[in-house]
Amino acid sequence: MEGVVMGDKMMREADRLLAQIGRADSMIVAVKAGARADGFVLGLETAGALRVGDAERLYIIFEAALDERLKSLAPL
């Protein structure tokens, strides 16, 4: 989460959500975890709890993690 400025509690939650994406054992579980992460960022963005650009950085971080997890779960 380099470059993203958030409070400690928000950072712990973001790390937890990122870990959930990484631990997903199916594509469905991964997509659900990604949706929760998007909702988390949307909530912070809506509440004005993030600096300009930090919301976009978080979306990119979560999306990249989800893409990577989905690729690793895809059948060959």
Mean pLDDT of the chain: 95
Residue 54's pLDDT band (cuts 50, 70, 90) = very high
Evaluate if residue 56 carries a pLDDT over 90: yes
Evaluate if residue 76 carries a pLDDT over 80: no
Given a contact cutoff of 8 angstroms between Cβ atoms, the answer to whether 1 and 44 are in contact is no
Residue 65 CB burial class (10 angstroms; 0-12, 13-18, ≥19):
buried
Q: What is the pTM of this model?
A: 0.93
Residue-wise pLDDT for 33-46, tens only, equals 999 999 999 999 99
